Amino acid sequence: MTGLYYEEFTVGETIEHARRRTVSEADNQRFCDMTMNQQPLHLDAAFASDTPFGERLVNGLYTLSLAVGVSIPETTDGTIVANLSYDSVEHPNPVFHGDTIRARSTVTDKRETSDGERGIVTMHVEAFKLVDDGDDVLVCEFDRTALSLKRPDAE
C-alpha cells in the first residue's frame, strides 16, 4: 500500500502526483464505447473539424477519471473505504489526443466520522496538460471527498 491513512493527511498539503499519461485516440474511443457516449465531438473527425476546437476532444469524464487514477498511489491506494463525492467539476481547457496529463491534489478538509472509526478527507484535484514551455495548462479541477481508513492500532 502506498496510500495515506486518515491521520497522515494534512490540511493544506499539496501532493504532486508522479504518474502521468499521454492520452491516445484509442483511450478516448474505448472510454466513449464503454460509457455509450457517442458524442461526435469526441469521435467524428469531420464533425469536430467544423467546431471551434477544430479537432476531436477527449471526453471530459475520461479526463476526470484519469486525474483520479493518477492521484491514487499517493493518496488512497489501499487505505480508502469509498469515494463519497466529486464536486465542483470544471474543464477550463480542452484535452486532445496526444496530450500528456499530470495531476496534483491539495488536502482542503478532514474530519473523523461520527463513530470515530474512520475519517473523511476532501482534496482539491487539478489536472494539467504538459506543454513544451513548462507552463502547463489546467484542463480539469474538482473536489474529491473520500472515506479513509484510520491507521490500525499498533499491537
- CA dihedral for 154, 84, 23, 141, sign (positive or negative): negative
DSSP label at 3? S
Q: What mean pLDDT, rounded, does the chain reach? A: 95
pLDDT at 85: 98
What domains can you pick out in the chain, each with its CATH number? 6-149 (3.10.129.10)
Give the Cα separation of 17 and 65 in Å (integer). 14
Q: For 5-36, write each residue's pLDDT tens digit.
A: 999 999 999 999 999 999 999 999 999 999 99
pTM for this entry: 0.93
| CB contact at 8 A, 77 and 3 | yes
Burial (CB count <10 Å: 0-12, 13-18, 19+), residue 132: exposed
**Closest C-alpha to 122, from 104, 105, 145:** 145
Give the Cα separation of 127 and 102 in Å (integer). 6
